Chain A
């Protein structure tokens, strides 16, 4: 059974069974923090899977490492920094905000602003155009006035 399992883990790193009973920390508070941190760390050998979801051997090692650091008294940020130091930004599923990722983080807002701005400008122009159409020339205005005055009399 073990052999089959090992073989299967080797063949299918993405088929996940994730966190196993023997990994859980006794302190539920600490365990909750471990889960929270793990869900934002990438299993380096998988496709966009967090170490919390993955059952690759490496993911298990990383989960154990996270729990070890937490037990040693690290804060969440310290644990994350420790792993980034070892594995680089690649391990963060939420990329840090820095020069290389400016474009990534700002694109959604830029598209929304530029798109919204363009729509607003277009609406303004349309309104101006329709006002121009609706407004009367000076001579028409004068004629209308005389007509109304005649009518009033």
Chain B
């Protein structure tokens, strides 16, 4: 019964989505207030209906209702509770339902938190948003119904793919989807602006929190996915330029560019056409990502669905929305007047350079990901485009971005002083160069890691030079602190986010200093890995709820002293008769990690081990966290807080202590 209610709620949501897609649009064109006002309640109710549907599926999972095909195929009564929840989106149908849920959530959020916005803009945004959700609701209902029943009901389920039974992968899809789908709002804003023909600095201010929010979650989602790959796939790789990873990187690059060009538009009323284009591009790439992952066009670690019918449907959605929005763009964009004038050397100029380089790197990932598919479709010839290609093309594009980042913060709007900026960055450059020399002298070996690490140090220091410049004049410490707190939070946000990129880069550079050991040992035999020594004390079996495992109780020693312990294991999952290795990871000083994986255990107790010492490796993901934190700080900046204008105008009458 509950399952049918869930299914029915989804059908109702579709009907409501169609109403919401048409009525407010018509209202906005006819300037009819009541018709436009349909959008807000419709968006909220649409969200509630999809949420009800999602709750119904979750209920079926938690109750282990195996009469539902989806639950039967992806769950097991003995599966730990957290994976009963995450199992809901650990499969094609459920993950598409999550997609639609987040889409509806964003629509409802716009409906509820847009008091300051013009009525027609809000109506158009919600109408466009609902076009997207109607398309995806239709997709779920027609090709990927998660509520299909089975008769007779099986006694037990087939269990979730063991690779997905992992806390990291439980939260990876929601994070990533909030990021992906978050760009649907900026897309809707762009389409609404094109339809209404009004695009100004206020528009840029409306989209900024949404862009930032989506960007924060996408950053976290990508980092989470990468860390999952790192500890799960067993040899410490964290980025493979796999098409599915590229599918999430492309919207991130476009979204990063959008974030920066929207800043120019907000402050200086320039780059309007370009900002609109990027808003369309970011969501188009999200749709492309969904197509690549969900259509089965590629078969990779991440893809679980391969059914041509679905692929064609998503391709239709893709063509409709990308084609439609680009057509609208082509017709309307020429009517936009270019705004503020600026010199090439200026904050605007630096942000234009950032946009050029980011979109070029995005185009590089795009062509590298799709070229093999296109070539095979056209000529039948198969080629591979892998890490070496991207390192050779994407890498060089990112170095000028890194070099330019601190300069961008330092240049003034309209007309900047390059020489002055360079002088203020002398310290950052000096630290970068000194870092390069010292690291090369200490570490030896190939020079590339030291060069990249030096760049990273330059960027980390350079990110804070601008803030330091603003605080330098302070006489006392308390004066300095109060000045620091008085700075706009977006200034801190920029500095932190940029420094985060530097920290990630440092972690990436340090992979070149890693040590690898591939050995066969018995318990008790020590293995030297970098500056440490690893000893397996004993091998012992252990039972989990839906798996059995062989655990290697292991000690990490430094100069004979035990400094850490870890328990890597090999898990065999009973239902799917699959084995998964659990890496043992210990984080030591400065983010370095000892990484251990049991490749094989012989009958006589000898073990094939892969052991790594990865200095600074955790900085890769720590940097991503810091980037997100920077985004969050920017998001909390007062000028972005919703309704601030209204509150400010009320303040003279009633001013409670804030």
Q: Interface residue tally of chain A, by bracket?
A: 35 or more
Q: Does B327 contact A (CB under 8 A)?
A: no
The chain A residue with its CB closest to the CB of B550 is A1
Contact B608 A20 (CB under 8 A): yes
Q: Interface residue tally of chain B, by bracket?
A: 35 or more
Q: In the complex, which residues of chain B have a beta carbon less than 8 angstroms from the beta carbon of A50?
A: 386-387
Q: In the complex, which residues of chain B have a beta carbon less than 8 angstroms from the beta carbon of A130?
A: 341
Q: In the complex, which residues of chain A have a beta carbon less than 8 angstroms from the beta carbon of B242?
A: 47-48
Q: In the complex, which residues of chain B have a beta carbon less than 8 angstroms from the beta carbon of A91?
A: 384
The chain B residue with its CB closest to the CB of A47 is B300
Q: Does B610 contact A (CB under 8 A)?
A: yes
Q: Does B363 contact A (CB under 8 A)?
A: yes
Query: Which of the residues B163, B364, B387, B577 comes within 8 Å of A7, measured between beta carbons?
Result: B577
B55: min CB distance to chain A, Å: 33
Q: In the complex, which residues of chain B have a beta carbon less than 8 angstroms from the beta carbon of A12?
A: 163, 578
A5-B600, A40-B388, A104-B367 are contacts. A14–B360 as well, Cβ < 8 Å?
Answer: no
Q: Does B240 contact A (CB under 8 A)?
A: yes
Number of A-B contacts (CB under 8 A): 145
Q: In the complex, which residues of chain A have a beta carbon less than 8 angstroms from the beta carbon of B608?
A: 17, 20-21
The chain B residue with its CB closest to the CB of A24 is B518
B343: min CB distance to chain A, Å: 8
Q: Which residues of B601-622 have CB atoms within 8 Å of chain A's CB atoms?
A: 601-603, 608, 610
CA A24 – CA B361 in complex, angstroms? 37
The chain B residue with its CB closest to the CB of A23 is B518
The chain B residue with its CB closest to the CB of A12 is B578
Q: Does B379 contact A (CB under 8 A)?
A: yes
A94-B388, A100-B381 are contacts. A115–B356 as well, Cβ < 8 Å?
Answer: yes
Q: Does B393 contact A (CB under 8 A)?
A: yes
CA A107 – CA B385 in complex, angstroms? 14
Encode contact with A along B572-615: 1 for CB under 8 Å, 0 otherwise.
Answer: 10000111110000000000000001011111000010100000
A136: min CB distance to chain B, Å: 19
CA A91 – CA B242 in complex, angstroms? 15
A70: min CB distance to chain B, Å: 17
Question: Which stretch, B57-65, B94-102, B231-239, touches the partner chain A?
Answer: B231-239
Contact B388 A47 (CB under 8 A): no
Contact A48 B579 (CB under 8 A): no
CA A74 – CA B520 in complex, angstroms? 29
B389: min CB distance to chain A, Å: 5
B539: min CB distance to chain A, Å: 12
CA A105 – CA B359 in complex, angstroms? 16
A17-B235, A42-B386 are contacts. A111–B360 as well, Cβ < 8 Å?
Answer: yes
A15-B580, A93-B385, A104-B368 are contacts. A20–B397 as well, Cβ < 8 Å?
Answer: no
Q: In the complex, which residues of chain A have a beta carbon less than 8 angstroms from the beta carbon of B352?
A: 119
Q: In the complex, which residues of chain A have a beta carbon less than 8 angstroms from the beta carbon of B234?
A: 15-18
Q: In the complex, which residues of chain B have a beta carbon less than 8 angstroms from the beta carbon of A92?
A: 383-384
Contact A103 B603 (CB under 8 A): no
Q: Does A101 contact B (CB under 8 A)?
A: yes
B396: min CB distance to chain A, Å: 9
Query: Which of the residues B237, B375, B397, B519 comes within 8 Å of A112, measured between beta carbons?
Result: B397
B407: min CB distance to chain A, Å: 17
Q: Which residues of A31-47 have CB atoms within 8 Å of chain B's CB atoms?
A: 39-40, 42, 47
Contact B579 A8 (CB under 8 A): yes
A98: min CB distance to chain B, Å: 10
The chain A residue with its CB closest to the CB of B344 is A123
Contact A100 B601 (CB under 8 A): no
* 6 closest A-B pairs by CB: A93-B386, A47-B300, A94-B388, A8-B579, A17-B599, A108-B364
